Structure 1
Amino acid sequence: MNPRLQTVLSHPLHQFLGVVDIHSNDRQGEICVTVTDQLINPAGLFHGGVVYVLSDVCAYAGLLSLLSDNEEAVTHDLHVSVLRPAMLGDEVVFRSEVVKRGRQLCFLNVTATVDDKIIATARVTKSIISQPNEAPEPLPE
């Protein structure tokens, strides 16, 4: 697995949300999670905030397949529409696709499904930032 993708997978928030596998290949990303007790809202349904976060992470995974070693991306804008609920125990599959990548911005679509039925869609804009090739100076103690 790509070390940058492994870093995303290992992030404590993503681990808490149940992300156990993440893919990035040819302008596309994919994440699968199972709706657990920690991911439901007071109504007993998949929490909309979790849909938001995982849509953003999945978009990043798709873009990661296009980023050079000295590029990074941050979220510029994100719009999520929840179309139907997911229930406790459902497996939710998030898939992203790069629509257009420019020099400074990238536009992506994300679809979340349960049993091949769309439960949410997202439009994500990422800002692409260049990183210096050298390691940053350590902070003073």
Structure 2
Amino acid sequence: MWGVQSPLPVASRLMRSMDKSLGDGGMALLSQIGLNFDSYGEGWVEATWNPTPLACNPMGGVHGGVYGVVHDAAMNFATNSALEKGEHGATISISYSTLRGAASGDVLSVRGEVVRVTKQIAYLTTTISNAEGEPVSTATGTFFLRRRPAAEPTT
């Protein structure tokens, strides 16, 4: 795995625990296609993906649209790990490219990372790599941030 972490403005003491989302991220679909979130930190997530036949087309290759599901799930996890408890992100857009094929049973690594956060928007990248470390699919995305209301100033 990568082992590189993203510096973000959220203080570690405020970072929410995403431990309950490890594994399938709380979405049965992700385990059915073979995705497993393994580790995360402030603004990043890493996963192992062993595509199942459900993730593949009739020719045995991973269906292009399934890459989109994996990218979106990893970006969502990374976004939420960068936010405080009670705040959430929602997908605005994702653009992804498939650089080489993958098939059922391949061992793939997934990394999602927040690269910039503004008041209302998070910008992310994800990379899906094969066992040789070669990129299989890459993506960029933007997420709308639903922040908690700011505390009223005291006078």
C-alpha distance in 1 between matches for 2:116 and 2:141: 11
Q: Aligned match of 1:84 in 77, 91, 100?
A: 100
- Cα distance change, pair 99–72 in 1 and its aligned pair in 2 (3 A): same
Q: Which runs of 5+ in 1 are unaligned?
A: 133-141
Equivalent position to 2:79, from 63, 66, 75 = 63
Determine which of 13, 18, 33 is the counterpart of 1:17: 33
Q: Distance in 2 between matches of 1:34 and 1:4?
A: 21
Distance in 1 separating the partners of 2:109 and 2:22: 19
Q: Which one has the bigger strand percentage?
A: 1
Show the counterpart of 2:118.
102
- Flag structure 2 segments of 5+ consecutive residues without an equivalent: 1-16, 150-155
For residues 7 and 61 of structure 1, the distance between their equivalents in structure 2, rounded to whole angstroms, comes to 11
2: CA distance, partners of 1:28 / 1:51: 18
What TM-score does the superposition give when structure 2 sets the normalisation length?
0.76
For 2:50, give the aligned amino acid: T
- Structure 1 partner of 2:146: 129
Give the letter aligned to residue 60 of structure 1.
Answer: N
Query: What TM-score comes out, normalization by structure 1 length?
Result: 0.83
CA distance change for structure 1 residues 49 and 39 in 2, over 3 Å: closer, same or farther? same
Paired letter, 1:120: S
Q: What CA RMSD, in Å, does the superposition of the two structures yield over aligned residues? A: 2.0
- Deviation string, structure 1 residues 117-139 (Cα, Å, up to 9, x no partner): 1011000111101357xxxxxxx
